[in-house]
Amino acid sequence: NASHGCVRMRNRDVGDLFARVAVGDVVELHGERDAELAQIFGEGELSASVMSAVGGQ
């Protein structure tokens, strides 16, 4: 797949996931691309395009 194991998440969702799981837990993510995330990050599949979408280097 195009992500090579990387997952785009909002900070609030990362915090929520962190509160729910322990180090070493297996986590499976399922679902389609979220429309809100697509607006924020665009359709880029490379880390450089994601970083430019959020104002990174």
| Residue 19 scores a pLDDT above 90 | yes
CB 17, CB 27: distance < 8 Å: yes
Question: Does residue 12 register a pLDDT over 80?
Answer: yes
pLDDT digits (tens, 9 = 90+) for 23-55: 999 888 776 767 776 777 666 555 555 555 555
User: What confidence score (pLDDT) does residue 57 get?
Assistant: 44
Question: Which residues, 6+ apart, have CB-to-CB distance to 37 below 8 Å?
Answer: 8, 10
